Each structure stands twice: as C-alpha cells, then as structure tokens.
Amino acid sequence: MATRSSKTNGNRAYRLRWALCLVALCAATGLPSATLAQAPGVKAEHPSGPVASTFDGAVTVRADRTWQTVTTQRTTIFAEALLDRVGRQNFYYIDQMQALEIVAAYTQKADGRKVPVDPATFVRRDATSGTEAMYRDLKQVTVIFPDLAVGDSVVYTVKTEHKSSAYAGQVHDTIQFPQNLAFADSTLRITFPKSVPLRINSFGPGFDGQRSETRETIQYAITVRAQASGPDRVVALTTFADVAAVGRTYWSEAGPKAIPTAEVKKLADEITRGIDDRGAQAAAISTWVKRNIRYVAVYLGTGRIVPNDTATILRNRYGDCKDHVTLMAALLAAKGIASEQVLVNAGNVYEVNDMTAPRVFNHVMIYLPEFQLYDDPTAPRAAFGVLGIDTYDKPVVHASAEGVRVVRTPAMKPDDYIVVNSTKIRIAADGTMTGETAQMTKGTSSIVARNIAGYIQSDGPEVAAQKALRNSGNPGKGKFEMPSPSDLKEPYALKGTFTLDARLSVQSGPQPIPQGMAVLKRPGEFLFGEEKERGGAFRCFAGRQIEVIELTFADGLPMPGGFNARKLETRVFTYTTSYKVENRTLTIRREFVSTVAGQVCKPEIAAEVAEPLKMIAANIANTKLVFGKPQAEAPATNKNAQRAENASAGARDLRAN
C-alpha cells in the first residue's frame, strides 16, 4: 500500500523484525510465572474498583544457579464484566529451560467455600502461532475457574523450575506488579546461597525490604505496599556484575561460532572476486548476507542468545540476527577485516543499567572498527553502514576477541535522514492536471522507502499510485516506477506519473495545492512524533525534509500570487518556505531541518516545539492557489506566531514579501 501512512507501516514491520530477534532474552528471563497473570486491559481502582489482588511469592536460587519461583495470587472480582477475563488465567514457560506446575487452583466463594479446578481441565498448548511460530518452545497453560460469581476470588499457586538461563551460568529474572491490577500489601521472599553473587533491585514506589542471613544463605523479605495508581513496579534479580558482563557472557557462546571455516573462506573469496578495496569488500559481504540469508527467527532453549554455526546458516539460508551477524563476521574475518558484535535495544529504551541490561538488549548488529561504522546484516533494505532509526543514540555492548566495551551508537545528524519530494504538475487550459513525482531518500529514510517499494510491488504500480493519490487528498490515476527494493544504492528514489481526477478552476476561489504522489511524511511531520506522544520526555530524530512543488500553467490561465515567504526558527529545528514565479511556473519550496542533539528530547522541548509545529502544519494546509488578489493568511496563524514567540525561548517567525 503506497501511501504516506505506508511509511509508518514500514517502520512498524522493520521494528517488529528487530524485536523478534533477541526478544526471547526477555521471554527467557521474564515471561514465566514470575510475571503475574493478569486481566488484559483492566484498570483497577483499588480498593473499590472491579478487582483487588494479593500476591505472595518466593524465589529460591540454588548453588548451581538454577532457581525456583513459587507464586500465589488471589484476585477478587467486583464487576460482572470481568468474570471471564479474570476467570481464565494463562501461564507461560519455555520448554527445555523451564518446567511449570499448577500446584493449586480454586474458586473461593464469597461465603468461604472452595471449588477446586479439576487438573484434567488444564489446557496446555504452544503459546505462539502464525508469524510468531518461531517461538515454538514457548508453552502456555490455561486455567479456567469454575462456579465464579461477583464477589468470588480466583486463587492459584504456580511453581516454575528454571533449569537454565538464556545466558549460560547466569541467573536473571523479574517479578512484575502491573499497574492495571490493584494489589493489597503483598510479599516476596528471595533466598540464595552466599556462594551466588545475586544482586536485587526494585523499580517503582512502595517497596519495603529486610535482609537476613544464615550461615549459608541470604534472604530478602520484601513487602509491596498497596498502590492505587502509578507505573508498573518491578523487582529484578541478576548475577551479572555489570553491563559489560552481559557482553562477555554473550561472546563466550557466540564468538567461537564466527571463526571462518574452509567453506566460509571460499565463499568470501567468491563474494569479493575482483574487488581490491577493503571497504568495498566489506560492503559486498554485507550485501550478500542481506540478499541471500532470509530473516527467520527460530528460538529453542539457549538458542535465544547462541547463534547457529556457519555451516548450518549456509545450509538453511536463513537465520535470526545472531546468525546473520555470525556469518558476516566470519566472512569478514576470512578477508582479514576485524569486526565486533554489538548488543543493542531495538525499541524505545535509551538507557540501560546493570540490572536491566540482560532483558533490554534484544538485537545484535555488527561494528567494523577499521571503517568506524555499524551495519545491520538483518536489514535487507538498509545500505551498508546505514543504521535503522531505532538504533541511533543507544547504549550498546561491543563484544569481540579484543574484549568488551560499553559505548553509545552515534546520535542522528540531519543528513542521516533525508527526504526530498520533487513534484512537477502541468495545468492545461481546461484545468486538467498531470505530473510526475520523484521522492529521493537517503540514510535511514531510504530503508522506509524500500519497504514502501515492497508494498508497491505487492499492490501493483497502478493500484498503489491510485491509493497514494487518494490518501494525499488528490484522487487520480498513475503509475509508480522505482528500483528493486533490494537495490541498496544511495540515494533511493520512488518515482511516478499521474493524472488527477479534479480540474483546477481559476473561478472557484482559493484552490488547494496538489502534492502529487509523495509517500513519505511532509516537512514538519514524523521527526518529532505525534503531539500525543510528547507528554514528557519523547523520542525525536534529526533529519532533513524538503518539498518542491512546481506548477506550470498553460498560456491564457491567470497566475496565482500573493504568497509570503516564511522562516521559523527554534533551537531544535528550522522551517523555511519560498515562492518563485518564472516562465509561467510557480515553484513552492519547503524545507524542515531537525537538529536535535540526541534521540530523547526533554519535556521542555515538547513545550517549545508544540506551537511552532502547529504553525508549520497550518502553513502547509492554508497555503492556497489564489487568483487575482493577495494571498490571505488564516488569523489563527498570527495567534500561533505570538504564542510561539512566548513559549519557545527565542523562536522566530520571519516573513518577507
């Protein structure tokens, strides 16, 4: 589907692929019974809300670094609409790594009677299906509570044996207290031998803890105080000493898999035949991996962080992010090019600490120190050395035979995201409008453009063009032309020709300015997110968005006029518009440049950009083709300008006739 909204879809699909890569690290350490079962979408209002819960948990860590979690939860239901949701509980575990047992499950009636759940009614099945079926060792047990009425409680005790961890020889787990369940005071006990260097931390309000010890063990007794509202609360425990230790453990398992074999050396020579430049050799290897190894995540046991060997990857011609990086590293090594494997979060996490690192890192990339660049061989539509937008300005762990180091990926610069939309429209004497659009992309925006090209291929170039025109507010017919989505040359351009259904009427008052077949966001959109996302600290991106629309009028048609140039400046972006009439062609040029220093903007930035961004949207929407009189400007724009002056600490709105 080739519309501007397709860019969002492309980003979402790209992020999903990343998230599936190492997200099993989280699944391996956080999904089992230590995560409380809950009623999805229910927001409790304790103590008089629809549900109220108490929780009692015990975690026992053994000297061999296996551990057991036993949790008992009681949830009382006060709303009839929640009987089915709360009365149907799902519990998850990872086969081979964990064993889950429902120790007890019953309905406790309001009068105190207990109605046990018959174990024969427990439903055990695979927890994933469809596109997520690669998690085929993730299992689910469903318990349905009988004879349940308003005022009754569901009570269950679940025991999970953690036979191993995704990280060999390490203990890592989290116990979550979701904000959408109202907990009365609850308890959690953690016991471990002194020989195990377990670290424990809590995140969120309302925790009280006491530490005690015997000759051989240490115990923490934690009280979780009732909390009517607030964020999810978490207790985390780990044996990792620091963030770097996560990288060392990962490398101990993954590193040996990247040693080049005879098969790999032969393939590396074939890929680079006739290429002498080392940088070009690295680019050729990256491109070969992206084009020839499909991304398919298959997670079984410790395979969540341990890649397959190169022989298996080459035989299957598919793998997850670890497999792609392992094969690329081996091919590079075969040509004498050093590389480092890079653990990163490919989501919304921009800070990491010692406790959260094992479950935060969910993706692996590669770094080539010789060229000082990152590459993602799992990104088949990313040019060599181009980062995806979700991996800029992130804490990362580099792991290689040279050791482990914790650094950050570079923050975005404006030239890391470039979109230039050039549309030329010819207006015939009868008002018929025909034209062509060329949308050039470079950097991370080209990844999105290639994803959209994939949708265009699926829809067909004519159908996709029709959708794009309709979604831009200018219905018509057209046809896209573009390079293959697997063409990784930069820049990447989507092109198309079109004829609009509507005809321009110079007698009908102000006319909207058609934008052609652009499929990526317009200047001022996307880089600062949606307004609803800017409530506090928010994600923001550097980039350059340029839009040039040329309207050529047939002889005999009047020429529009009265346009006002504009320049809007804040400390984090600039926006300029200019207008030129020459040889019966009106040229409108808009440029938005975001210069944010990092990918997390503080709340005060949200306040500063709110009105200026509205002004930009209004400028684009309110600029019309007006024939025979000066261009009128919407009164709201002047008010917005004044508010922006007051709110944006030096924002300037400059006009020139």
Report the SS3 class of residue 233: strand
Question: How many Å apart are CA 355 and CA 334, to the nearest integer?
Answer: 37
Residue 285 confidence (pLDDT): 98
Question: How many Å apart are CA 496 and CA 469, to the nearest integer?
Answer: 11
Residue 633 confidence (pLDDT): 42
Residue 181 confidence (pLDDT): 64
Question: What CATH number does the domain located at 245-408 have?
Answer: 3.10.620.30
Query: Could you tell me where in the chain the CATH 3.10.620.30 domains are found?
Result: 245-408
**Smallest Cα–Cα separation from 579: which of 556, 554, 547, 604?**
547
Share of the chain above pLDDT 90, in %: 69
DSSP 559: P
| Kind plus residue range of the DSSP H or E element containing 124 | strand 123-126
Residue 16 confidence (pLDDT): 32
pTM above 0.85, yes or no: no
Across the chain, what does the average pLDDT equal? 86
| Kind plus residue range of the DSSP H or E element containing 314 | helix 310-316
Report H helices in 319-443: 321-334, 357-360
Residues 60-80 as b/e (b if ≥16 CB within 10 A, e otherwise) read bbeeebebbbbbbbbbbbbee
Question: How many Å apart are CA 425 and CA 431, to the nearest integer?
Answer: 11
Task: Please report, as a single letter, which amino acid is at residue 319.
Answer: G
Sign of CA dihedral 610, 616, 621, 627: positive
Residue 231 confidence (pLDDT): 75
Report the SS3 class of residue 603: helix
User: CA-based Rg of the chain, rounded to a whole angstrom?
Assistant: 29
Weakly modelled stretches of the chain, pLDDT under 50? 1-48, 130-135, 299-303, 630-657
Looking at domain 31-239, which of 2.40.50.140, 1.20.1250.20, 3.60.150.10, 2.60.40.3140 is its CATH number? Answer: 2.60.40.3140
pLDDT tens, position by position, 257-294 = 999 999 999 999 999 999 999 999 999 999 999 999 99
Report the C-alpha dihedral over residues 627, 629, 635, 637, rounded to 10 degrees.
60
Measured CA to CA in angstroms, residue 451 lies from 66, 170, 545 at distances of: 43, 39, 19
Query: Could you tell me where in the chain the CATH 2.60.40.3140 domains are found?
Result: 31-239
Phi, psi of 322 (to 5 degrees): -65, -40
Phi, psi of 625 (to 5 degrees): -85, 115
